[in-house]
Amino acid sequence: MKEISVQELKEKIDNKEDFQLIDVRETFEYEVSNLDGENIPLGGILIEADKVSKDKPVIIQCRSGKRSAAAVMQLEAQYGYENLYNLKGGILAWQEAFDPNMPVY
């Protein structure tokens, strides 16, 4: 499984690179704080796989990196995706590195 650090993600955002960001946390978690990605909770990721791009890099994130890793593995196994990246450390790593005022839970 390919992974990306929060520093690499910030670089992509700052450089306005074309990628898709998917947050697989539950909607109530997403509403607490998010990185402006699309919210597709892990439980529905396979059902909504048609929303996941195959044409550009897709970075999948959650709170700490565990659920997003599960989503990457499921999508790769079920649908053959090869353009997925797990965000190491999830939104907690982002908050620690770049936004100490971001609400976390």
- Catalytic residue annotation: 62
Unique residue bearing structure tokens 């990196």: 65
3-class secondary structure, 8: helix
Neighbouring C-beta atoms of residue 27, cutoff 10 Å: 10
Q: Is the dihedral of CA 90, 48, 72, 3 positive or negative?
A: negative
